[in-house]
Amino acid sequence: MDVTVTGVDLTHDERVVAVCVRGKSKQRISLLDLPLSASPPEGAQWIDAYRCWAKGT
pLDDT (tens digit per residue) in 9-37: 999 999 999 999 999 999 999 999 999 88
Closest listed residue to residue 28, CA positions, set 55, 54, 3, 1? 3
Beta strands in the chain (DSSP E): 4-10, 16-22, 25-30
pLDDT for res 43: 87
Residue 57: pLDDT over 80: no
CA distances from 36 to 12, 13 (A): 25, 24
Place 1 in a pLDDT band, splitting at 50, 70 and 90. Answer: confident
Instruction: Give the residue extent of every domain in the chain.
Output: 4-55
How far is residue 22's CA from residue 51's CA, in Å, rounded to a whole number?
24
pLDDT for res 2: 86
pTM of the model: 0.79
Phi, psi of 37 (to 5 degrees): -70, 170
